[in-house]
Structure 1
Amino acid sequence: MKRVSFAEFGGPEVLRLTDAEEPHAGPGQVRVAVRAAGVNPVDWRLREGQVLGAHPVELPFGAGQDAAGVVDEVGEGVEGVKVGDPVFGEGASTYAEFAVLWAWARMPEGLTFEEAAGYPSVVETALRVLREVGVESGQTLLVSGASGGVGSAVLQIARDRGITVIGTAGAANQDYLRGLGAFATTYDDGWAELVREFGKVDAALDLAGAGVIPQLVELTGDPRKVISIADLGAPELGVRFSGVAGSLPDALAEAADLIARGRLHIPVEKSYTLAEAAQAQIDSQAGHTRGRRVIVV
């Protein structure tokens, strides 16, 4: 089978599309014929060797962790899914023709494989940071970097929970944020003052790593009410960096429910082939995404 992997840490040029042995489902796992794989910031962070403490890597390492596809092997002890079922979930080496998943859910009706591949990690992250920051119905949440995959999920899940959201993004994405039910503002000079005009901010999320944590702490009045998933220096400012996943099966089940109820939709901004995996990671690292980037197999 074809698989994208890297044998050394470095820039996108270390990614290689090679022939590899097919993986097989172990106990508690399923194997899927991959139809699409999600592209996430953790993918290029691992390629660069940035987050080895939380995600140990043994080289050569297969890129990708999110996928949507058709089950073609079911491991020992697995129930509730059979060969031929369309699923989306998280596993290993998903930039490939076949991949093993250890967490999955059945794809909701009407969802394409490309769309489904964009949900697993971002929805788990969105649910986790909302839980960790402790924002509740009736309160106001500020989201810095709100137009990407995680931001798109946060805005919609928060809206479903009765939370008011203020989102910051580039000028081209202001209408997109408003369409997701958020008050929107740009990163232009004086943006923090514009946020204050919306009212009291109870909690804040840094999803872009744009160096705005001091302003987020000032706006909330408490570093404990700010969570970052993008700035590795956040702890130096008293802010928690969230990087350890919670329960993936629970997150996928909630994602499937939200999608089925029409309360969550994350658009695919751009699709790539396996041979274009390096470009997909370059674009992901550049940011300014509206929704998700996926690799179509």
Structure 2
Amino acid sequence: MKATVYEEFGGPEVLRTGEVPEPHPDPGQVRIAVKAAGVNPMDWKIRHGWMEQMMHTSFPAVPGVEAAGVVDEVGEGVTDVAVGDEVVGWATGAYAQYALMTNAVPKPAGLGWNEAVAAPVAGETARHVLKLLGVKSGDTLVVLGAAGAVGSVAVQLAVALGATVVGTASPANHDFVRELGATPVAYGEGQVERIRAAAPSQIVDAVFDTAGKGDLPDAIELRGGTADRVVTIADMDAEKLGVTFSAGGAPREEQRAHLAANLALAAEGGLRLRVARTFGLDGAAEAQRESEAGHARGKLVIIP
């Protein structure tokens, strides 16, 4: 089958399109014919070799940890999914014509493949961090990187909880952030003052850093000098600053419940899953390069 592969750690230039053996499901897994694969920071962090202490990479490697597609093989012990089902969820080797999935839920009939694949990682991450932060009605939440895949979902879910949201983004993305329900401000030097000016009574109750651009000192300042109710998913300086770093890790059933809820909301029009760009398998290097730059307005998607 065709897939995006790499045989050594490095920059996006190590990615190429090649032929690899088709995978087949182990017990508890299903195989899907991939309709769409999501591009995530995890993909290029693994490609760089930065995740080796947490997960070993065997070469040749196929990137991709989330996918949407049609089940075409079912492993032993799987009873809740059948051949022909349209599913969305977490996968291994998703940048390929076929991929294995261990945690999937049905795709709503009215939701497109590209939009659906924007939900697993971004949606679960957003829900998990909002729970860690204890965001509730009446809070003022700052989302650093509000136009990205995770940030845009977090804004909408926080607004639905009754929070006031201030989101940092480049000026080109301000209209988009405003449409999501947040007050946009430009990131960069002077953002603390701009955020405070946009927050009711200049009070910030919680900060969610999705960008990892070195803004944690600003987040702590916004919280009055404390790291309490500050969470990042992207800044490796978190520990030395006393900030909570979230790498996910919710139980499987909780992940499934969150994904099903997000997909249902999206199908009903209550959650906007924006696709920034789509790429073929031979555009995977460009897609990861764009993801690593951190300026995508929504989800980057690979279509095999």
State the TM-score, normalizing by the size of structure 2.
Answer: 0.94
CA distance in 1, matches of 2:277, 2:248: 27
Alignment correspondent of 1:25: 25
Residues 1:74 and 2:69 aligned together: no
Match of 1:289 in 2: 296
Provide the alpha-carbon RMSD of the alignment: 1.3
Q: In terms of mean alpha carbon deviation, does 270-279 or 245-254 score higher?
A: 245-254
| Structure-to-structure mapping, 1:227-246, within 5 angstroms | 227-246=231-250
Residue 254 of structure 1 and its aligned partner are, at CA, apart by: 2.0
Is the contact between residue 157 and residue 263 of structure 1 (CA under 8 Å) also seen in structure 2?
no
Q: Where does residue 139 of structure 2 map in the other structure?
A: 139
Residues 253-287 of structure 1 deviation map (CA, whole Å, 9 limit, x = unaligned): 22223223322121111110001111111111111
- 1:62-115 CA distances to partner (integer Å, 9 max, x unpaired)? 111111111111222222321111111111000000000111111113211122
Counterpart of 1:57 in 2: which secondary structure?
Answer: coil
- Read off the aligned partner of 2:250 and give its amino acid letter: G
Q: Which residue of 2 aligns with 1:156?
A: 156
The alignment of Structure 1 onto Structure 2 pairs a total of residues equal to: 297
Correspondence for 1:271: 278
Tell me the secondary structure at the aligned position of residue 224 of structure 1: coil
Any idea what SS the aligned residue of 1:110 has?
A: coil
AA of the residue aligned to 1:31:
R
Is 1:204 matched with 2:211?
no
In structure 2, runs of 5+ residues without a counterpart are none
Instruction: Identify the residue that residue 218 of structure 2 maps to in structure 1.
Output: 215
Deviation, 1:188, is: 4.4
Q: Give the alignment's TM-score, normalised by structure 1.
A: 0.96
Q: Which moved more, 1:148-157 or 1:74-83?
A: 74-83
- 1:250 partner amino acid: A
User: How much does 1:290 deviate?
Assistant: 0.7
Runs of 5+ unmatched residues, structure 1: none
Matching residue of 1:101 = 101
- Whole-angstrom CA distance in 2 between matches of 1:158 and 1:79: 35
Find the aligned partners of 1:97 and 1:249 in 2 and give their Cα distance. 24
Does 2:88 match 1:88? yes
C-alpha displacement of 1:26? 1.8
- Equivalent position amino acid for 1:121 in 2: V
1:228 to partner: Cα distance: 0.8
CA contact (8 A) 1:273 1:296 kept: yes
Where 1:61 maps in the other structure, the secondary structure is: coil
Q: Could you say what secondary structure the match of 2:143 adopts? A: strand
Corresponding residue SS for 1:193 = helix
Question: What is the rounded CA distance, in whole Å, between the counterparts of 2:213 and 2:25 in structure 1?
Answer: 40
- The reply to whether residue 251 of structure 1 matches residue 258 of structure 2 is yes
User: 1:4 is paired with a residue of what secondary structure?
Assistant: strand
Identity, in percent, stands at: 46
**What letter matches 1:167 in structure 2?**
G
User: How far apart in 1 are the matches of 2:22 and 2:153?
Assistant: 33
Q: Distance in 2 between matches of 1:215 and 1:181?
A: 23
